[in-house]
Amino acid sequence: MGGIGLVIVIAAVIGSMGIALYMYTEYQTNFIEANAGESVTVGPVEYIVTFDGTHMGNKETQPENTFVKIIIEAKNISQETTRMSGGQFYLIDEKEQKHEAVYGEFSKDDLYGDYLEPGKPARWTTQFDVPYDEQKQFDIVIRPTKEQSTVDTAVICITNC
């Protein structure tokens, strides 16, 4: 009788470990690496991100350091409208520090929040306040919005790749 109970307990442990391993592999982040100007797909959106230089802001918004500006070209490859947000984009410097996008009225293309229609490409810009050095490598990380529900995350090298 005790042997049957031991077998049941061992089977339950092995079964729960199998389920846990499956869930871990199913929901583990899939990092996609690319260089500036290359196409990368994160969920239902195909992106091309390029470095657009640096600037010192405008009268209303001045950087603490330097604004690093990027151009974001996106195309919704799904059949449903999807939300786009400047909060999906992060700049990672050589020290692995994460910098969030800075919003302002720098241009008519500045991305704060928008919707991307199916099959229609769009173009935005955004910037990050960082201690910029021409010799260092900077990466852009693109995370999906919650409604895009994907485990894909893109890491795009924009300088000194």
CATH number of the structural domain spanning residue 94: 2.60.40.1240
Closest by CA position to 74, among listed 32, 27, 109, 98? 109
Kindly state whether residue 13 falls inside one of the protein's structural domains.
Answer: no
Q: Return the percentage of the chain with pLDDT > 90, whole number.
A: 63
Q: What is the pLDDT of residues 38-94, one digit of tens each?
A: 999 999 999 999 999 999 988 888 899 999 999 999 999 999 999 998 889 999 999
Structural domains of the chain, count:
1
Check whether 26 has a pLDDT greater than 90: no
Kindly state whether residue 17 falls inside one of the protein's structural domains.
Answer: no
What value does the mean pLDDT take over residues 123-144?
95
Kindly state whether residue 99 falls inside one of the protein's structural domains.
Answer: yes
Strand pairing report for 121-130 and 98-102:
antiparallel
Spatial distance between the Cα atoms of 78 and 21, rounded to a whole number of angstroms? 30
Kindly state whether residue 21 falls inside one of the protein's structural domains.
Answer: no
- Give the per-residue pLDDT at 121: 95
pTM here? Answer: 0.81
- Give the per-residue pLDDT at 1: 62
Spatial distance between the Cα atoms of 152 and 33, rounded to a whole number of angstroms? 11
Q: Return the percentage of the chain with pLDDT > 70, whole number.
A: 99
Check whether 35 has a pLDDT greater than 90: yes
